Chain A
Amino acid sequence: NAGVMQNPRHLVRRRGQEARLRCSPMKGHSHVYWYRQLPEEGLKFMVYLQKENIIDESGMPKERFSAEFPKEGPSILRIQQVVRGDSAAYFCASSANPGSSGNTIYFGEGSWLTVV
């Protein structure tokens, strides 16, 4: 886990507000993934990004959610006009060489979003 940094760890938003979650990958990793964990459930893939590119967003809700991984700075998961159903833990992960032998994926400690 060491090295994937997420912030904030906990975030409370009122319905209709925006939530921004940040993720800095491990040093040397250029591939970032976002997963969502709803209460009492497993982790579900949302989006996979490489620097400045979205590689796979098949798990992202079609509306209100967006992600970016700019050339400089952390990856951002943005949720607009939050609703109570968005309350969940959002985990970021990073890796060095997806699809290759020995490619371990490392997770951050998660960001817990509560919508009130």
Chain B
Amino acid sequence: GIQVEQSPPDLILQEGANSTLRCNFSDSVNNLQWFHQNPWGQLINLFYIPSGTKQNGRLSATTVATERYSLLYISSSQTTDSGVYFCAVERSGYSTLTFGKGTMLLVSP
């Protein structure tokens, strides 16, 4: 099956700092999504981004499909950004998402 690797596994930031999270995948995909799992366990859709760049407030994401990676940028981080960020991909020709192991982010005040 497809491999999805996220880095770094853990990240600690001071409030206000910026960060970049990375997701590498091993095969061509027709879907890539970024999720935030908050401390209460809820999975929040951040981006649907199989290619290109999107921005939503302080968050933006870029996927370079030909090089099989995606980046999630968090600017001016806030304590509410804490949680686990997951990248998930849908391999071309398949219909299910494969998740990476996530990046655990802790933003301290």
Contacts and interface: CB of A to CB of B under 8 A. Distances in A.
Partners in one complex: yes
A8 to B, nearest CB: 14
A99 B30 contact: yes
Interface in B76-109: 86, 88, 90, 93-102
Interface in B7-41: 30-31, 33, 35, 41
Interface string A30-71: 010101000001111100100000011000000000000000
A1 B93 contact: no
Interface string B29-70: 011010100000111110010100000000000000000000
A86 interface: no
A105 B43 contact: no
A101 B94 CA distance: 12
A109 to B, nearest CB: 5
A107 B48 contact: no
Nearest to B47: A104
Contacts of A89: 41
Nearest to A59: B96
Sorting the interface of chain B by its residue count into under 10, 10 to 19, 20 to 34 or 35 or more gives 20 to 34
A110 B43 contact: yes
A44 B99 contact: yes
Contacts of B41: 89, 109-110, 112
Given A1-B45, A89-B41, 20 more contacts: A1-B43, A1-B44, A33-B96, A35-B99, A41-B101, A42-B86, A43-B88, A43-B99, A45-B98, A56-B95, A98-B90, A100-B30, A102-B48, A103-B31, A103-B90, A104-B45, A105-B33, A106-B45, A107-B45, A112-B41
Interface of B: 30-31, 33, 35, 41-45, 48, 50, 86, 88, 90, 93-102
